[in-house]
Amino acid sequence: MSEAAIVTPRPAGSAVSGGAAPPTGAAAPTGDGASTRPVRLPPTPHVPAFLPALGFSVSRKWTLAQIVRRCGEAFTLTLPVFGRTVIVADPALAKQLFMANTDDVGNIQPNLSRVLGSGSVFALDGKDHRRRRKLLSPPFHGKSIKNYETIFEEETLRESANWPEGREFETLEPMMRITLNAILRAVFGADGAHLDELRRIIPPWVTLGSRLTVLPTPRRTYGRFSPWGRLAAYRRRYDEVIGRLIDAVQADPNLESRDDILALLLRSTYEDGSTMSRLDIGDELLTLLAAGHETTAATLGWAFERISRHPEVLAKLAAEADTDGNEYRQATILEIQRSRTIIDFAGRHVYAPTFELGEWVIPQGTSIVVAISQVHHRMQEFPDPDRFDPQRFIGERPNTFAHIPFGGGTRRCVGAAFANVEMDVVLRTVLRHFVIGTTTAPGERPHSRGVAYTPKDGGRVVVHRRPGS
């Protein structure tokens, strides 16, 4: 896959680009996780080394499930792209990892910044990451989120206006369009020709980038017709459009009163008075557009797939949609995220000479990955984990580190609240305007898009418009 430096050459920044060392200028590791004990890695499966590596590349969820069953909730693998990797599926170990001192463990390498760019929040570590998070947080919390609800409802109504009645259709692609249009409007504050161009660029770029992310990075793009060459071409087109949009917003006499995310980034300053560069803004906007629509759309696709196969759940959701309440809808979203995990791993990279994780002592340069899907299916936290049951979350929030669809700690998804409200509003709007048919068909199998897992058949349902809608 193409690195940002291959896709769009740029000056070296302060982001960590890989390797085992801590970020430049970071203090010597002194966190509680750093250890003076000798290295003690979790066991390695007693099979030829290439088998787990191949299985991880082809079918991560299935492979990790088999190894957890045989080896327990901590083991060591040598994986393509990541090298020596410790896999954990224990919420206590996940908590310890996510809450560790960022001088001891940092950004897993490599990561999505290979596609999104060195200015993306995915590329940053340590102090640089904290500064960027602080700058990005305002538009994704509190009053700002409330302002987006109208956008979510409008986009859902616009997309669903031409849904076929009485005929099965895939919901995943409509959800992709709803979530992309919503994040575009939130980011740029308006519609127009430039956004039409982004609508054409972003979906194929996300699909291709997601698949290439899990592959080793080539030294060159191998021509314009190769996957990496096509990715580079998408990025060049994206940069051209974003450049024009930045110019237009900077020239807007009402820039100071605008509340869209691009205007906020252009106005914002770090504590030292510096501002984000145009290249960094481009990378960050690409991150928001990519991460802000695919995973949310995938969750919504699974939502329709799940509720159409559970009539009792659907009946409760439909009844609640006619009220101002959302307790059961929120519980359903939590259960979908648990039972049909979209992003199935999150990780860190050991910077300290050694890092103590539970009974294990892990050496510098090792990746540590939390197997999220396996955490979500622990019987200790979720009795009968294969059963789809939103009721398990009624009146009870899940354990913070046993339910981690957005990751955890300092690198938890900054747009988690945005995504949650969007899913809530989209589901409510659909349920208020349509009757969703139920089916006894087997559940759809998960399909890997590289990074995200979606319903294999696209979350197919049959709907009928409600009278008066």
Give the pLDDT score at 34.
65
Task: Look over the chain and give the mean of its residue pLDDT values, rounded to a whole number.
Answer: 86
Residue 369, classed as helix, strand or coil, is strand
What is the DSSP-derived secondary structure letter of residue 371?
A: E
Q: What are the structure tokens assigned to 191, written together?
A: 């519609």
pLDDT band at 268 (very low <50, low <70, confident <90, very high): confident
What is the distance between the alpha carbons of residues 437 and 459, in angstroms, rounded to a whole number? 13
Return left, alpha or beta for 458; rule: phi > 0 is left, psi -120 to 50 is alpha, else beta.
left
Q: pTM to 2 decimals?
A: 0.86
Q: What are the structure tokens assigned to 115, written together?
A: 């596609």
Per the structure, the complete domain to which residue 125 belongs is given by: 4-465
CB under 8 Å to 14, separation ≥6 — which residues? 23, 24, 124, 128
The CATH number of the domain where 449 resides is what? 1.10.630.10
What is the DSSP-derived secondary structure letter of residue 102?
A: T
Task: Quickly list H helices, 251-310.
Answer: 261-267, 278-291, 294-307
Burial class (CB in 10 A: 0-12, 13-18, 19+), 32: exposed
pLDDT band at 120 (very low <50, low <70, confident <90, very high): confident
In DSSP terms, which residues pair with 84 in a beta bridge?
A: 78
Give the pLDDT score at 214.
67
pLDDT one-digit tens code per residue, 17-48: 334 445 444 444 445 566 678 999 999 998 88
Contact in structure between 288 and 139 (CB atoms under 8 Å): no
pLDDT one-digit tens code per residue, 138-177: 778 777 788 899 999 999 999 999 999 999 999 999 999 9
pLDDT band at 259 (very low <50, low <70, confident <90, very high): confident
Residue 9, classed as helix, strand or coil, is coil
Q: How many domains does the chain have?
A: 1
Give the sign of the dihedral formed by CA 42, CA 47, CA 51, CA 56: negative
Give the pLDDT score at 368.
96
